C-alpha cells in the first residue's frame, strides 16, 4: 500500500514531545507542518533540523484554542492535505479541585480537548476522500489514573481518550485510524519541577523519567502505514507506572 500525497501536522511542536514527533515523522518521509503559539525560535530550530536531514517542514504560528487559527493550520497547501494529524498542544494549570477557577478549568479543556476535536473534525474530510488518515492524540496517564491537583488536566485527557475511541469507530472503514498515546512522566517543559521528584521516580518501575523521543517513537508507529489495523487504542508510554 502506498501512502497518498499529504502532510503531517503536529500541533505544539516547537519543543518537547511535539518537536521530537515532528522530527520522527519527517524521518518517515512526511512533509511536516510545525506549529507553535509563542516559541517561534524553537519551531524554526526544529524546521532547520528537519531540513538538515533532508526532510521538508513548514513553520506555522497559531493558537489551537482559536478556532480560526486551527482552520488555517489545516488548510490544504502545497504540501497537500493533512493526512497525519498529531494533536499534541497542551497545557496544565494545576491546583486542588476546590481552588481551580472557572477560567483555569475552561482554558485547559479548550486547549487540551476542544482544540483536538476541532482539528480532527476538519482533518477528517480530506482523509475520508483519500481513504487514508492517521490521527494521534496525545493524552496522559493522568487521564487513566488519578493524580491529585490535576482535575482539569485529567478531565481533558480522559476526554481525549474517550473522544479517540469514538472517532476511531466512526471512520475505521475508510482506512483512517485514530489512536492516543498516554505518556507518563516525561522530561519536558510541561513537567518542569515534577520530573526531579525522587519519590515519584521510585514509583516508576523503570526508575526514571521518559524522554520526548520515546513518546515520539510510539506516535511515529501509530502514524505509519504499518499500524493500519491499530485503531481506537491508547498506548501508555510510562515506564510501567500504570501497569
Question: Where do we find the cell 476535536?
Answer: 117
Closest approach of other proteins to the CB of residue 209, in Å: 41
Is the Cβ of residue 38 or residue 169 nearer to other proteins in the bound state? 169
Is the Cβ of residue 22 or residue 124 nearer to other proteins in the bound state? 124
CA distance 134 to 222: 7
Strand extents, DSSP E, 129-175:
133-138
CA distance 185 to 198: 12
Q: What are phi and psi of 138, to 5 degrees?
A: -90, 105
CA distance 18 to 102: 28
Question: Is 153 one of the annotated active-site residues of the chain?
Answer: yes
Q: How many residues form the binding site for other proteins (CB under 8 A)?
A: 9
Q: Judged by CB under 8 A, does residue 124 bind other proteins?
A: yes
Which of residues 29, 77, 125, 205 is near other proteins by CB under 8 A? 125
At a CB cut-off of 8 Å and minimum separation 6, what does 147 contact? 154
Bridge partners, 8 (sequence order): 32, 84
DSSP state of 112: I
Q: DSSP per residue over 190-215, as a string?
A: GGTTTTT-HHHHHHSTTSS-B-HHHH
Catalytic residue (choose from 113, 153, 183, 235): 153
From residue 157 to residue 196, the character string flagging contacts with other proteins as x (rule: CB under 8 A) and all else as - is -------------xx-xx----------------------
Which of residues 128, 155, 194, 200 is near other proteins by CB under 8 A? 128
Q: Are the beta carbons of 37 and 62 closer than 8 angstroms?
A: yes
Q: Which stretch binds other proteins (CB under 8 A): 13-21, 62-70, 103-111, 120-128?
A: 120-128
Which of residues 72, 129, 207, 208 is near other proteins by CB under 8 A? 129
Closest approach of other proteins to the CB of residue 230, in Å: 20
Residues that bind other proteins in the complex, under the rule CB under 8 A: 124-126, 128-129, 170-171, 173-174
Q: Which residues are catalytic?
A: 153
Amino acid at each position: 500500500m502506498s501512502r497518498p500525497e499529504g502532510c503531517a501536522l503536529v500541533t505544539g511542536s516547537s519543543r518537547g514531545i511535539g518537536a521530537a514527533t515532528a522530527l520522527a515523522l519527517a524521518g518517515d518521509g512526511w512533509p511536516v507542518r510545525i506549529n507553535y503559539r509563542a516559541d517561534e525560535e524553537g519551531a524554526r530550530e526544529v524546521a532547520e533540523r528537519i531540513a538538515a536531514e533532508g526532510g521538508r517542514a513548514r513553520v506555522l504560528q497559531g493558537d489551537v484554542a482559536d478556532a480560526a487559527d486551527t482552520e488555517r493550520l489545516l488548510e490544504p497547501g502545497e504540501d497537500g492535505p493533512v493526512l497525519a494529524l498529531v494533536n499534541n498542544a497542551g497545557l496544565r494549570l494545576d491546583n486542588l479541585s476546590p481552588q481551580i477557577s472557572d477560567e483555569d478549568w475552561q482554558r485547559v479543556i479548550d486547549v487540551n480537548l476542544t482544540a483536538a476535536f476541532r482539528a480532527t473534525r476538519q482533518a477528517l474530510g480530506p482523509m475520508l476522500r483519500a481513504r487514508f488518515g492517521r490521527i494521534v492524540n496525545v493524552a496522559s496517564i493522568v487521564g487513566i489514573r488519578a493524580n491529585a491537583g490535576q482535575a482539569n488536566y485529567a478531565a481533558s485527557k480522559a476526554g481525549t481518550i474517550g473522544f479517540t475511541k469514538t472517532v476511531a469507530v466512526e471512520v475505521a472503514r475508510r482506512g483512517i485510524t485514530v489512536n492516543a498515546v498516554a505518556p507518563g512522566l516525561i522530561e519536558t517543559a510541561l513537567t518542569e519541577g515534577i520530573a526531579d521528584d525522587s519519590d515519584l521516580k521510585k514509583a516508576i518501575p523503570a526508575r526514571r523519567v521518559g524522554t520526548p523521543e520515546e513518546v515520539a517513537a510510539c506516535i511515529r508507529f501509530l502514524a505509519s502505514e504499518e499500524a493500519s489495523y491499530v485503531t481506537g487504542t491508547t498506548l501508555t508510554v510510562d515506564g510501567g507506572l500504570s501497569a
